[in-house]
Structures are given as structure tokens and as C-alpha cells.
Amino acid sequence: MAILSVDNLRKHYGPVQALKGVSFNVPKGAVFGILGPNGSGKTTLLGIIVDILRANSGSVMLFDEKPRPEHRRRIGTFLETPNFYHYLNAVQNLEIAAAIKGHGKEDIEHVLRQVSLDQRKHSKFSTYSLGMKQRLAIASCMLGNPEVMIFDEPTNGLDPVGIAETRELIKKLNREGKTIIMASHLLDEVEKVCTHVAILQKGTLITHGHVDEILVQEDIVETNAIDNNRLLSAVQHFPGAIKVHLNGQHVELSFEPGTANLEAINRHCFDQGIVLNHLRLRKKSLEAKFFELTQNNN
């Protein structure tokens, strides 16, 4: 079942194309990251999904149906900086949030325990660290026990401790059956938290799918010989190589992680009458992979 389906979404602000025909599905139980640099269209996309913004064209489906008010009530959203009354404590702020959402107070103690704020529930909001404020905002999203939670840059501005706490909370919510949709410009965040990803660049969907498939780290083998064109021809169809190309002074072979065999490559070249004067294994980082994906679509 697709919790969310977006089909050919387009949004423009005058001449600025914020979204250019974006389509993807979010499966039930996923932690789905919408990844892209600032200005890529992530917040606009989330605004359309939660019905704050209207798309110029395209459609959104929730729970495999055309969105209705009852669908929206099954979704908890956190799209802005935490906004609570500074002179009230956590319980008082959540009581106000529950009343605005039309929920009772019965969830408050539970959600505070979920976000590890039960020991500070009677402390004023003004005394909270930024990470605690962020967790209270997530607790507010959890009121009414929504099936889906949508976060826009949930670790934005946090220190390393706050980032780690928020990431662990998101993974905990997912283990308890929540589907999480989150926008982020942080590659590291998506790699550590998300199961699926869609990558946006200047309003264009570059790719989407399972994180392990989209952001796979590769083994790169650098080779060099006196005649690199002959070397390139010799290894063009080397078994297991995902990609073979000439990169500057090296012929590079890309492999799935852990599958590159330098001895086999050297032997293959020698059997072809080619003596290698350079043979080195290096890893392609996730940053390099992300840079490659986004740069190719500029």
C-alpha cells in the first residue's frame, strides 16, 4: 500500500519553477527522505502534500485515495520552527495543541514519555535546549496517534547531541509502525535514518528508490598503462564491473562494494598483453555519489 503518491506535481511562482513534474510513491512503514540542497523544492513539495500550498498541476493521493479531511487527521506534521508559549511548561503547551487539533488530553503523558521529556514536563519551555524544543514539537505531532509523520528538516540547527537524539526518536517511531516522511539537505541524515529516498535538484526529481540502491557506495579501481585507450578496450567488459570509463590519466572500473578483485584485474590485463603501471582501490564516498547525481542534472 502506498501511504503517499505524488503524480507529475508542478508548482511555479511566476517564472520560477519550484517543482517540475515530480512523481514518486511512499510505501507503508518507510522512513522516506526527500533529499536536496536548499532551494531544490523540498518545502514546497511538503506544503502541497499537507494542503498548505496548491499545485499548478498534478495530483496527490493519500492512503491510495483522493485526499479528504479524515486522511489529513491521520498525519502529524512538523514543518516549522517549534512555536510554543515560553512561559508555559510542556504539559500546558501540549494541552493547547491538543485542543487546537480537536484531541483530548489522554495522549499527553504518553507522547512526553515517547520523546523522553516526562522528567521535564513541568519545566517552562524557555528552559529547554533546542533539542528538547524539537522533541516537544515532535510530541505535539504525535497527539492523536497519527499513522504518518511529516518533518521538514527535523535536525536543523541542532548540536550533535540534539541531532543524535532526534534521529534515534525518528527510528524509534518507525519501529513502532509509523511511516515517516522527512525533508533534509543532509546526506548523512538520510543515510543513517531513511529506508527510501527521493533526490530533488532545482525542482526536478533526479532519482528515487531504496536508499541502499540509490546511495550505494562503490569500489573504484584506478588503472593506468602506457596506452590507456588499449587498456580501456581490454577491460570494457570485465566481469562484475558496473561501469568502465577513462577519467583523466586513469581508466576506472566501478564495482559493487567489496567485490573488486585487483589480482584478477591485473592478471586479465597481463593476459591481454598490457602491463599496468598503476593499480589502486579506492572507495567512492556517499558525498561523491550525491555530488555526481546532482551535478549531472544542473
Return the domain boundaries, the chain.
2-214, 218-295
Instruction: Examine the pLDDT at 46 and tell me if it is beyond 60.
Output: yes
**Cα 132 from Cα 41, distance rounded (Å):** 28
Instruction: Examine the pLDDT at 124 and tell me if it is beyond 70.
Output: yes
Residue 286: the pLDDT is: 61
According to the CATH classification, is domain 218-295 in 3.30.70.100? yes
For 54-84, how does the pLDDT look when each residue is reduced to its tens digit (9 = 90+)?
999 999 999 998 988 888 888 999 887 778 9
Instruction: Examine the pLDDT at 288 and tell me if it is beyond 80.
Output: no
Q: Judge if 2-214 and 218-295 fold alike in CATH terms.
A: no
Instruction: Examine the pLDDT at 296 and tell me if it is beyond 80.
Output: no
Q: Which residues pair with 221 in a beta bridge?
A: 253, 281
Of 187-201, 225-239, 282-296, the range with the lowest mean pLDDT is 282-296
Determine how β-strand 278-284 pairs with β-strand 218-224. antiparallel
- CATH superfamily, domain 2-214, is P-loop containing nucleotide triphosphate hydrolases (3.40.50.300)
Instruction: Examine the pLDDT at 163 and tell me if it is beyond 80.
Output: yes
Determine how β-strand 196-201 pairs with β-strand 204-210. antiparallel
User: What's the pTM?
Assistant: 0.76
Q: Greater confidence, 195 or 258? A: 195
What's the mean per-residue pLDDT of the chain? 89
**Cα 222 from Cα 284, distance rounded (Å):** 12
**Cα 29 from Cα 150, distance rounded (Å):** 13
Residue 6: the pLDDT is: 95
In the chain, % helix, strand, coil (3-state, to 5) comes to 35, 30, 35
